[in-house]
Amino acid sequence: MVVDMKNEESNGNDNIISSRSNTDKNGIHIIVGQYMGKGFPWINQINLTDDLLNVNNYSPLPNYGENGSPVYVPKMDHTQAKRLFAINQFNIVASDMISVNRSLPDIRKQTCRVKKYPDNLPDTSIIIVFHNEAWSTLARTVHSVILRSPHRLINEIILVDDASQRKFLGQELDEYMNKLSKEIKIQISILRSANRIGLIRARIMGANFAKGQVLTFLDAHCETTNGWLEPLLHRILIDGKVAICPVIDIINDQNFAYVRSFEAHWGAMNWALNFRWFSVGHAELKRMHKKNFDSTKSFRTPIMAGGLFSIRRDYFFELGTYDSHLQVWGGENIEMSLRIWQCGGKVEIAPCSHVGHVFRSSSPYSFGKKQVGDVLYGNLIRVAEVWLDDWKNFFYKVNPTAKQILHHDRNDILKDIEKRIDLRRKLNCHSFEWFLENVWPENFFPNTNTTFGHIQSLYSKECMQRPSNGVHPIGKVIMAKCSIEIYGPQSFIIPLTGETGYIKSDESVCIDANSKKTNASILLIGCNQLERQKWRYDSKFKQIIHIKSSLCITIDRRKTTLSLAKCLSNNNKRQAWKIISQNWNND
């Protein structure tokens, strides 16, 4: 069934957002959006014709990609694969060689494989939004759902076409899905937006059309695995106010190998409100391992990745769906997560549910008439204004570009924002401070019980600074000229004078000593709640004392390197540090 939706949104310039795709030591992908100004006309740059853009070259080869194995394009096709890569930001030549019905390994742990679920699980509407998606990845997403889900639990599959321009996503897709729907006896509907409305509004369109008890949102380049659906629906059966997410595995963007992710990661955000994966927090691990620990039970996550999750349909609407004034894509997962948590719900990850996702190094999607940065910052500004309370001032201070964008486009960005603020009042929601204290106590945001500011050496007159090497700024602490204004790489959350605690910074990194011996290097590594990361500031001698070793942070005579040394009581300036406090929560 095909439904055309009329709207007034227009499809503007082809701006794109680039992102760095990084993996941590456990192989978890960290996706970070990086703004590229006006973008660039990628279709013209690589000289792709309409024929190339609109052809469906899906032609699977026997056994290619089976059991999630990688596919390596023959040498004679390398040039074409590179040329076509920019269309989807993945290797479409490799994808087109893999069957839409390919097999995948059962990567669940044994306790998940043998777990039994009740017969009265709620049914679900599967909602998949697409815009100019490759045929093979979109079809493979749909087929994986059909192959690996009990059909009695699927009320319907809804594909929402956000004004795609590819010819093969028109009548050819309609006919294919109509035929498939009749074969499997599951309703497959295609809703079509006449104009580009973006992921957020397209999902609202799908939710408004849906009839299932549960809404399950998937991206258009996913593959579900054995037993993925039951854990999500079971959790919602137990608690109707949970948004439940699968573990997101990695489908390689070059060879489409299926790679299992490490389960003990949860989602959170940095000071710019960008989504991040971090190791599950200490408090949550402690809660999980209390009496009768069950490794198949879901665990809490402060923020969801947003692409893949299930939620009761009535609860989704009770919460106010998505903020429809968020533009195109970006920040909706932060907004949804904060709203659920602060308004009495929960966001969790089901360790027994695994869904693969193609992690791309950049996104090929249009952002309409606006610049990419304007769209994303505009969305995050709305999130900050509604949900962050005093911390919205902190957001603007560490993200001055956001404040500039708000100044230039205030009326458009904050359009009808009073309705979202009224919704928050109506739902009787908690404060952002409550969220930090109760949902994410390991957070690295400033508060009234810590000092926010710079750490200056009285010997060199320079300030401690995070190394700038990738997404997670880990490595040796460096010294640099002190910034007069708030400057993220030099900003730290510091225990109050005389108190013991962690010295944290953005991206959940903490000052650490790699040993409790003298000359141990002073590092920034991921916060881990261990004793080796605890410090105390002595205001009398202006020393920063390492609790585990009772040694002090000392700068060398060349004023470049920090290490531990015996604490001296003679006001040695190489051990003297000034905490330059900065206001973070005022206009």
pLDDT tops 90 at residue 549: yes
| Residue 155, amino acid | N
User: How far apart (Å, rounded) are the C-alpha atoms in residues 496 and 494?
Assistant: 6
| Residue 376, amino acid | L
Average pLDDT, the chain: 90
- Residue 406: φ, ψ to 5°: -60, -40
Q: 2-16+43-108+120-261+306-361 has which CATH code?
A: 3.90.550.10
User: Greater confidence, 474 or 547?
Assistant: 547
Contacts of 237 by beta carbon, 8 Å cutoff, 6+ apart? 118, 120, 121, 122
SS3 breakdown of the chain: % helix, strand, coil, rounded to 5? Answer: 30, 25, 45
Nearest CA-CA partner of 267 in 338, 372, 329, 162? 338
Q: What are the boundaries of each domain within the chain?
A: 2-16+43-108+120-261+306-361, 450-581
User: Greater confidence, 369 or 537?
Assistant: 537
177-185 average pLDDT score = 98
Nearest CA-CA partner of 566 in 578, 551, 546, 580? 551
User: How far apart (Å, rounded) are the C-alpha atoms in residues 191 and 103?
Assistant: 29
Nearest CA-CA partner of 380 in 401, 364, 411, 359? 401
User: For residue 238, what is the enclosing H or E element?
Assistant: helix 229-238
Residue 329's pLDDT band (boundaries 50, 70, 90)?
A: confident
pLDDT tops 60 at residue 133: yes
User: How far apart (Å, rounded) are the C-alpha atoms in residues 347 and 576?
Assistant: 44
Q: What percent of the chain has pLDDT over 70?
A: 90
Q: At what angle are helices 135-147 and 171-184 packed, to 10 degrees?
A: 10
The CATH label, of 2.40.30.170, 3.90.870.30, 2.80.10.50, 1.20.1630.10, for the domain at 450-581 is 2.80.10.50
pLDDT tops 60 at residue 45: no
Q: Which of 281-295, 308-322, 345-359 has the lowest mean pLDDT?
A: 281-295
Confidence at residue 8, expressed as pLDDT on a 0 to 100 scale: 37
Model-level pTM?
Answer: 0.91
Calculate Rg over the CA atoms of the chain: 25
pLDDT tops 70 at residue 15: no
| Residue 477, amino acid | V
User: Is 444:506 a contact under the CB 8 Å cutoff?
Assistant: yes
Residue 50's pLDDT band (boundaries 50, 70, 90)?
A: confident
pLDDT tops 90 at residue 26: no
SS3 state at 17 = strand
User: Is 1:346 a contact under the CB 8 Å cutoff?
Assistant: no
User: How far apart (Å, rounded) are the C-alpha atoms in residues 174 and 338?
Assistant: 37
Output the furthest CA–CA distance in the chain (Å, rounded): 85
344-372 average pLDDT score = 85
- Residue 316: φ, ψ to 5°: -60, -45
Q: Tell me the sheet residues that pair with 535.
A: 501, 546
Confidence at residue 514, expressed as pLDDT on a 0 to 100 scale: 86
User: How far apart (Å, rounded) are the C-alpha atoms in residues 238 and 224?
Assistant: 23
15-19 average pLDDT score = 29
User: Greater confidence, 191 or 412?
Assistant: 191
Confidence at residue 86, expressed as pLDDT on a 0 to 100 scale: 86
DSSP 297: S
Residue 2's pLDDT band (boundaries 50, 70, 90)?
A: low
